[in-house]
Structures are given as structure tokens and as C-alpha cells.
């Protein structure tokens, strides 16, 4: 009897053990399935908005309905080359004396306003851009947007197609955190979140009539050996087509020599490497940094090594906000030296079918000490400020 009682007890405890195990497994699988369900919901939520870009029928749903701005005339590349001006951040409205600068542009012969919308470390305020565009009185103008190689991970930007705020942390290129300062990074076009941002800001810019877009230092934004930019360019051009407008897309490519890569763009763009004598060099790489094979090459894009592989080339007085860059050197010259330099550059590049972009508004090192605009941090060609280059530039534009 004791044996049977013991055996019965073992059976009961065994059954209880199996019940506990079954319940534990049930709870575990329930939690796993709920976690997967939440994960899948999160993926669906993150991808919301992507479907519009998959085919033209869906993409048409993103076209504006209210306050539709008619498509502007096609941009004229040759006129962009002969009458192009750097107007950095003009339409963003953050340059000191914006109203005066808008009047400067209205007085000018500028046809192409290069980099008139900036995205460096901040998303553009399109209401401000629209307001300032309304103050441009020119009948014929091409606006340019700069797609910067620097973003702030603290940026707040509402992505309407996805009905959410974009996560700028998810846009960063691996290993680039804090590259431009705290809470910054280089964005990567390999990241879906950055693609969403680029497509959305360029779409909104096109809706306002912007026709020229340039990727800053594209080798930071794209992996040249495994590029991702092609799909973005295709979608940008497709949206422009649905809007009934033509756009041009360029990039700062530095020493990239891959012709297939360069031909994706309507133009490539870079600095000139201005000397204090007001002249420039003829080699492929600026000798300030390149002395021998293997040294870093700051490419001079009008050299045949690069120009022969590109559709069009633009050159400008480069700036980095540091003493010694092109704009720093230029603003330290006398008025007469600046006039002579601009005439030399205009003639030099015109002979080579390269568009030289005249400086109207650009960044300066605050401590530079040369001529400047209303603020020491910005160059202005306006005659009412110390550089007083406005008349010289207008004489050269379109010649």
C-alpha cells in the first residue's frame, strides 16, 4: 500500500511539473509573439510613407493640392554657368541683413542662385524660404538647394508622408558621430531614414519651384564603391517629372574619377584654390596639400582628369569658416585686387566652359579681419558694406 501511495504521489507531482512547464512555455511564447508583433508594427510604422515612392500612381498622391505653384521654365545650363551666383543661405533668412541681401539680388544680373537654401546642421524652414522667395522680383531665376554633408542628431523634422518625426540618429554614417561637433554626424544615403529626409526636403523644395540641388562632399554621404545615391536621384527626377518641371542635380565630388559615378550628376562643383596673387593653379590637385603621389588631393575640377568625365563643371570661391580658405583670401584683398581676381577667374573659366559662380553671399571666418557684410561672419558684395564688389560682379555676369 505504501508503495502504491508513493507511486501515486510521484504521478501527481509529475503531472504538476508538466503543468508548470506548459504554463511557463505558454507565457514565454506569448511574450515572444507579442514582442515580435510590436517589432513588426514598429517596422511598418517606420516604413510608412515609403510606398508613395514605389510607383508613379502612388507618387502623384504627394503632389500639392492647395496653393499649387506652376512649374518654372527649364533651367538653362549655359546661362547658369555664365550668370551664376553664390547666395549661401539667402532664402533661409539666417544671414544678417537678409532683406538687404534680397534687394542686392534683385539689383543683380544673377540668374542662378547657388546654395540659396542651406541644410547645414538644420532642416530648412520652408515657410521662411517661401516668404523670402516672394521678395525676389526677378522674372527669370533658378534657385539652388544645398544638401549638406552635416546633420544634427537633435534636429526636429516632421515627415508628413510617414506621419511622424524623423530620427536623425538613424541617418548617421558609421563612425561619424560628433564629426562636426557635439550631436552631429555625417549622414549616409545607405540609411533609409536619411533617404526619406532627402526625398522629403527636395520634394518640398520642388513644390516651391526650386530646380537645382547639390549634394555636399558626396563621398561623405555615399559609399562610392557601393553607392546608394542612384535610387535617390531617380526618385527626385521622377517626382520632378510628375510636377511637370525639369531639375538639375549636382555634387561636390572632389577627386572621384569614376566616370559612371560622375555622369549620374548634371554637374560637379568645387573650389578654386585662390592664391593671394589672385591666380589659381592648373594641376589636378591643389599644391597647398598635395606635394607628391599619395598626398591628399583637393581636386581642381576644371582639370581634364575630372572635367572630361563630368557633364558640367562649376567652380566657386570655397569656404570652410577657417582662415586661409578661398573666401578668407579673397576678402583680405584690396577692392582693386578683388576686381582683378574676379575678372581673371571669369575669363579663365569661360574659356574652359566651366561655370564660375560669382560671390554674392558667403561665409567668412569671424576673426578673418578683411572686408565683410553686415556681420563679420558673412561676405556680401553689396556696395553699402566694406567689400563693395557689387558693380564689378554685375559687369562680369552674363558676359
SS3 sequence, 355-393?
EEEEEEEEECCCCCCCCCCCCCCEEECCCCCCCCCHHHH
Using CA atoms, how far apart are residues 96 and 88, in angstroms rounded to an integer?
12
How does 24-37 read in b/e, with b if 16+ C-beta sit within 10 Å?
eeeeeeeeeeeeee
CA 273 to CA 286: how far, in whole Å?
A: 6
Helix (H), strand (E) at residue 221: helix 218-221
Task: Give just the sign of the alpha carbon dihedral 317, 308, 109, 87.
Answer: negative
Query: Which grid coordinates belong to 125?
Result: 524652414
Please report the pLDDT score of residue 27 as a whole number: 61
Looking at residue 36, its pLDDT comes to: 55
Q: Would you state the pLDDT for residue 396? A: 98
What is the rounded CA–CA span in Å between residue 168 and residue 112?
Answer: 31
Looking at residue 4, what is its pLDDT? 46
Predicted pLDDT of residue 357:
99
Residue 267 backbone phi and psi in degrees, to 5: -155, 160
Q: Coil, strand, or helix at residue 350?
A: helix
Residue-range domains of the chain with CATH: 72-396 (3.20.20)
The whole-number mean pLDDT for each consecutive block of 10 residues of the chain, a chain of 399 residues, reads 53 63 61 53 73 92 89 97 97 88 97 98 97 96 99 97 97 97 98 98 98 98 97 98 98 98 99 96 94 92 98 97 95 98 98 98 94 94 96 91
Nearest-CA neighbor of 397 among 346, 331, 329?
346
Amino acid at each position: 500500500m505504501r508503495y502504491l501511495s508513493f507511486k501515486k504521489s510521484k504521478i501527481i507531482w509529475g503531472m504538476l511539473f508538466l503543468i508548470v512547464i506548459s504554463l511557463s512555455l505558454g507565457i514565454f511564447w506569448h511574450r515572444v509573439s507579442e514582442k515580435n508583433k510590436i517589432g513588426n508594427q514598429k517596422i511598418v510604422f517606420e516604413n510608412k510613407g515609403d510606398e508613395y515612392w514605389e510607383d508613379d500612381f502612388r507618387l502623384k498622391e504627394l503632389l500639392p493640392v492647395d496653393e499649387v505653384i506652376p512649374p518654372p521654365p527649364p533651367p538653362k545650363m549655359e546661362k547658369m554657368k555664365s550668370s551664376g551666383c553664390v547666395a549661401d543661405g539667402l532664402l533661409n533668412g539666417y544671414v544678417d541683413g537678409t532683406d538687404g541681401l534680397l534687394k542686392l539680388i534683385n539689383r543683380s544680373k544673377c540668374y542662378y542662385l547657388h546654395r540659396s537654401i542651406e541644410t547645414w546642421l538644420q532642416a530648412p524652414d520652408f515657410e521662411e524660404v517661401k516668404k523670402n522667395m516672394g521678395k525676389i522680383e526677378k522674372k527669370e531665376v533658378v534657385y539652388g538647394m544645398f544638401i549638406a554633408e552635416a546633420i544634427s542628431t537633435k534636429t526636429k523634422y516632421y515627415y508628413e508622408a510617414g506621419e511622424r518625426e524623423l530620427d536623425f540618429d538613424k541617418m548617421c554614417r558609421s563612425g561619424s558621430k560628433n564629426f562636426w561637433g557635439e550631436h552631429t554626424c555625417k549622414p549616409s544615403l545607405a540609411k533609409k531614414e536619411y533617404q526619406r529626409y532627402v526625398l522629403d526636403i527636395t520634394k518640398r523644395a520642388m513644390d516651391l519651384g526650386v530646380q537645382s540641388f547639390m549634394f555636399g562632399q558626396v563621398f561623405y554621404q555615399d559609399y562610392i564603391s557601393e553607392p546608394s545615391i542612384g535610387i535617390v536621384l531617380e526618385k527626385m527626377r521622377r517626382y520632378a517629372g510628375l510636377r511637370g518641371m525639369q531639375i538639375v542635380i549636382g555634387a561636390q565630388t572632389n577627386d572621384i574619377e569614376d566616370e559612371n559615378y560622375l555622369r549620374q550628376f548634371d554637374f560637379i562643383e568645387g573650389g578654386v584654390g585662390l592664391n593671394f596673387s589672385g591666380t589659381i593653379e592648373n594641376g589636378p590637385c591643389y599644391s597647398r596639400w598635395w606635394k607628391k603621389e599619395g598626398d591628399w588631393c583637393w581636386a581642381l575640377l576644371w582639370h581634364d582628369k575630372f572635367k572630361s568625365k563630368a557633364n558640367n563643371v562649376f567652380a566657386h570661391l570655397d569656404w570652410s569658416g577657417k582662415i586661409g580658405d578661398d573666401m578668407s583670401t579673397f576678402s583680405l584683398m584690396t577692392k582693386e585686387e578683388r576686381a582683378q581676381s574676379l575678372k581673371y577667374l571669369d575669363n579663365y573659366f569661360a574659356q574652359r566652359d566651366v561655370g564660375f559662380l560669382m560671390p554674392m553671399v558667403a561665409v567668412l571666418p569671424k576673426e578673418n579681419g578683411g572686408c565683410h557684410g553686415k556681420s563679420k561672419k558673412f561676405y556680401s558684395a553689396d556696395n553699402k558694406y566694406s567689400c563693395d564688389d557689387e558693380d564689378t560682379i554685375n559687369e562680369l555676369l552674363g558676359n
